[in-house]
Structure 1
Amino acid sequence: MPRVLIASDKFKGSLTAADVAAAVGAGIRRVVPDAVVDSAPVADGGDGTLAAAAAAGFDLVPVTVTGPTGEPVRTSYARRGDLAVVELADAAGLVRLPGAPDPLGASSLGAGQALAAAVDAGCRRVVLGIGGSASTDGGAGLLRGLGARLLTADGSDVADGGAGLEHVDRLELDGLRHRLDGVTVTVACDVDNPLTGPHGAAAVYGPQKGADPGQVRRLDAALARWADVVATSAGADVRDRPGAGAAGGVGFAALAVLGAELRSGIELVLELVGFGERLAGADLVVTGEGALDEQTLHGKAPAGVAAAATRAGVPVVAVCGVNRLDPGRLGAAGIGTAYALADVEPDLQRCLTDGATLLEQLGEQIATDRLVLIEENA
């Protein structure tokens, strides 16, 4: 009997990764009833990372934290033994904005609070996914949530957000260091931007978070001041390190103060869900995301899944809402064929509202194209 491993990311705004796997699996079994279908939802370190961990058997521990613009947010961290997974996107990301973006005031505080809750509960190893950030605060909120204090020259607390860093004068780390003693942090990060400058956090990602040109310049200057203060307190200047500009500078704070290791988000998630072990004996891997495009090839989940499966000698196909990659680009990424909702339903609205039914049809097509012959020769 053929064995299929479905390791898709979400279809953003439409279907969760688990929804995708369920629909594709149902379609496959309709054509090949005895197919063994295993589901391993994945993510790249942004939203969906907690869900992937939960699907892999981690326990979700609920916690209330401060959202990106100060509102309370109910989130969770995922736990297995002494290992915790924290998702910045769910705690303090763009998906948690209650309304319009706040480029100057949005904070990463909630991510620090979620991480602190995991550590205070006894977790000694933490994976922090930082995709989907709503802020450009240099990770100041993250550090504050862990017990650090940011002070102005007159000894008052610095305001939240990137604009508050215009007034930072010193950083006190005693509380943070006491809390994190013996804790290791690994950050899921897929960008190599420095903290400041023309390729930095404010210049490249600030506009995506609502910053106009004047605000970008203001944020970049504030981040430079923040980097000076952190260098004095932490004893090292890492503002130019690749990844320091990730998540509005959360990568910088993690590198400089937490001593974190930055790693590919999808590679980390594949380890968390035991992808390598689950590949054993598979005849086919199905991966996917909402849109297959050039971004897919640069650290996104389908490319990471395809690379790992290809190394193991297992063929890969992908499902998606729309495919913008030609066969040559797909093949170079290790994906044999892409099956798109748009190929069976030209109405975009129906693709969004009835995606699960359409994915079942794609599952049937995958089974017909790829599995029937395997079953007949078994």
Structure 2
Amino acid sequence: MIVIAPDSYKGTMSATEVCDIIKKEFLKLNTLEKVKCFPIADGGEGTVDAMLFNGGEKFIVKIKGPLFDEAEAFYGILPDNTAVIEMAAASGLPMVGAKKNPLLTTTYGTGQLIRDALDKGCKKILIGLGGSATNDGGIGCAAALGAKFLDSDGNSVQLNGSGLAKITDINLTKLDKRLANVEIEALCDVVSPLYGENGAAYVFAPQKGADRSTVKILDDGLKNLAEVTKNIIDKDNSQIEGAGAAGGLGFGLISFLGARLVKGAPAVLKATGFENAAKNADLVITGEGCMDNQSLLGKAPAEVASLSGDTPVVAIVGMSRVTDMSGSNIRRIYVTDHGQRPFEQILKECRNDLAAAANRVAYDFYNGMI
């Protein structure tokens, strides 16, 4: 059995497309070969589709978009009734276009997706934290599930970045009781704390439309949220690595919904049954657009290799900058690159290049050279 588990080739091919191309090349040489595909995602765009690749169902839900506009968003439910949500599908940067402004955007729609998953009886929910348009500390998401964020007059604040500094009290008595019996994992490869010079506002808000003064307003607001939250739950989660992910949604999910922050790629691989398949395979193939020494230390291909047991692992990559493979479980790297070419040419030829490299892997495997 051949197991294929690539990451996307950024800017050219999705992980699912890479799987299909490699699989076809193996079946050309051995039509009876059993091939299983596990496209990798890290919690960002494409996570739902990658995790539904081997089964499950996608649902469309009417929600409030990042600017409280009427919108539709999707999420998936796996065969074991685990829900998979991309927060960007409900509260993402592409949804706001030229209107990006982290003072005004909200994660409310993400909370609505969580609520829909609860309505469908899901007992485990995975939430990808990539691609947000928001910097609301997760208050919008929590409010969609019943939390109240109040100002000094006892009124609800605006559920966006501008409301953070006005919060003086948080009421969690109406928070959806079903959350107590659900396991929530937030998929996150960001290590930023909630606030401070390495926090959500200073590191990520400029990408979401914030100027220097807005960044300061947002950071002060997130600090205020952390202080009020600490008084309510008697715990300070603001400096946890990943608390600042998705404009502080990481913090909100931990503090109000009881979530755990986990690394994206390992969680996806675990949820899809990759490890068991890999350990029973004859060969595992991974890959990504550009592989370097860092890729071998902790990025998706390294996770694939570490979970594959004694099964041989090879990588097919667009470009390799690897200079040291010591300590890596990846036996061999196959490169599709043909030297310096304009990006337009790479885009045009990448699928044929990948197919040719996959054919070389298949030939080497069936001739005992791997």
Query: What is the TM-score normalised by the length of structure 1?
Result: 0.88
Q: Is the 8 A contact 2:60 2:72 kept in 1?
A: no
How far residue 314 of structure 1 moved from its aligned partner, in angstroms, is 1.9
- Secondary structure at 1:159's aligned position in 2? coil
Q: Is the 8 A contact 1:86 1:126 kept in 2?
A: yes
- Secondary structure at 1:74's aligned position in 2? strand
Q: In structure 2, how many angstroms separate the alpha carbons of the residues matched to 1:263 and 1:47?
A: 17
Query: Does 2:320 correspond to 1:320?
Result: no
Question: What pairs with 1:343-354 in structure 2 (closer than 5 Å)?
Answer: 343=338, 346-354=341-349
Q: Is the 8 A contact 1:5 1:278 kept in 2?
A: yes
| Residue 361 (structure 2) aligns with | 366
Q: In structure 1, how many angstroms separate the alpha carbons of the residues matched to 2:335 and 2:163?
A: 45
Between 264-273 and 10-19, report the one with greater CA deviation.
Answer: 10-19
- Judged with a 3 Å threshold, the aligned counterparts in structure 2 of structure 1 residues 11 and 353 are, in CA distance, closer, same or farther, namely same
Q: In structure 2, how many angstroms separate the alpha carbons of the residues matched to 1:25 and 1:344?
A: 25
| Residue 196 (structure 2) aligns with | 197
How far residue 248 of structure 1 moved from its aligned partner, in angstroms, is 1.6
Q: Is the 8 A contact 1:52 1:273 kept in 2?
A: no
Q: In structure 2, how many angstroms separate the alpha carbons of the residues matched to 1:307 and 1:95?
A: 34
Question: What pairs with 1:1-378 in structure 2 (closer than 5 Å)?
Answer: 3-71=1-69, 72-99=71-98, 101-293=100-292, 296=295, 299-309=298-308, 312-323=309-320, 325-328=321-324, 330=325, 332-343=327-338, 346-368=341-363, 370-374=364-368
Q: Deviations over 1:286-311 (max 9, x none)?
A: 112333346645653222112212xx
Q: In structure 1, how many angstroms separate the alpha carbons of the residues matched to 2:103 and 2:318?
A: 34
Opposite residue 19 of structure 1, the aligned amino acid is E
Between 175-184 and 241-250, report the one with greater CA deviation.
Answer: 175-184
Q: In structure 2, how many angstroms separate the alpha carbons of the residues matched to 1:18 and 1:346?
A: 25
RMSD in angstroms over aligned alpha carbons?
2.5
Q: Is the 8 A contact 1:5 1:284 kept in 2?
A: yes
- Secondary structure at 1:374's aligned position in 2? coil
- Secondary structure at 1:195's aligned position in 2? coil
Between 198-207 and 298-307, report the one with greater CA deviation.
Answer: 298-307
Query: What is the TM-score normalised by the length of structure 2?
Result: 0.90
Q: Is the 8 A contact 2:102 2:134 kept in 1?
A: yes
Opposite residue 45 of structure 1, the aligned amino acid is G
How far residue 154 of structure 1 moved from its aligned partner, in angstroms, is 2.7
Q: In structure 2, how many angstroms separate the alpha carbons of the residues matched to 1:336 and 1:69?
A: 48
Q: In structure 2, how many angstroms separate the alpha carbons of the residues matched to 1:362 and 1:117?
A: 43
Between 163-172 and 245-254, report the one with greater CA deviation.
Answer: 163-172
How far residue 81 of structure 1 moved from its aligned partner, in angstroms, is 4.2
Instruction: Give the number of aligned pairs.
Output: 369
Opposite residue 346 of structure 1, the aligned amino acid is R
Q: In structure 2, how many angstroms separate the alpha carbons of the residues matched to 1:174 and 1:341?
A: 56
How far residue 41 of structure 1 moved from its aligned partner, in angstroms, is 1.4
Q: Deviations over 1:348-374 (max 9, x none)?
A: 213324433332122112223x31323
Q: Is the 8 A contact 1:69 1:97 kept in 2?
A: yes
How far residue 344 of structure 1 moved from its aligned partner, in angstroms, is 6.8
Opposite residue 63 of structure 2, the aligned amino acid is V
How far residue 241 of structure 1 moved from its aligned partner, in angstroms, is 2.0
Q: Is the 8 A contact 2:319 2:336 kept in 1?
A: yes
- Secondary structure at 1:126's aligned position in 2? strand
How far residue 90 of structure 1 moved from its aligned partner, in angstroms, is 2.2
Q: Deviations over 1:33-89 (max 9, x none)?
A: 544322111211222221122113222222122232334133123243442222212
Q: Is the 8 A contact 1:327 1:337 kept in 2?
A: no
- Secondary structure at 1:320's aligned position in 2? strand
Opposite residue 279 of structure 2, the aligned amino acid is A
Between 234-243 and 215-224, report the one with greater CA deviation.
Answer: 234-243
How far residue 102 of structure 1 moved from its aligned partner, in angstroms, is 2.2
- Secondary structure at 2:357's aligned position in 1? helix
Q: Is the 8 A contact 1:61 1:79 kept in 2?
A: no
Between 159-168 and 138-147, report the one with greater CA deviation.
Answer: 159-168
Opposite residue 224 of structure 1, the aligned amino acid is K
* Structure 2: gaps of 5 or more residues: none
Q: In structure 2, how many angstroms separate the alpha carbons of the residues matched to 1:295 and 1:141?
A: 36
* Structure 1: gaps of 5 or more residues: none
- Secondary structure at 1:342's aligned position in 2? coil
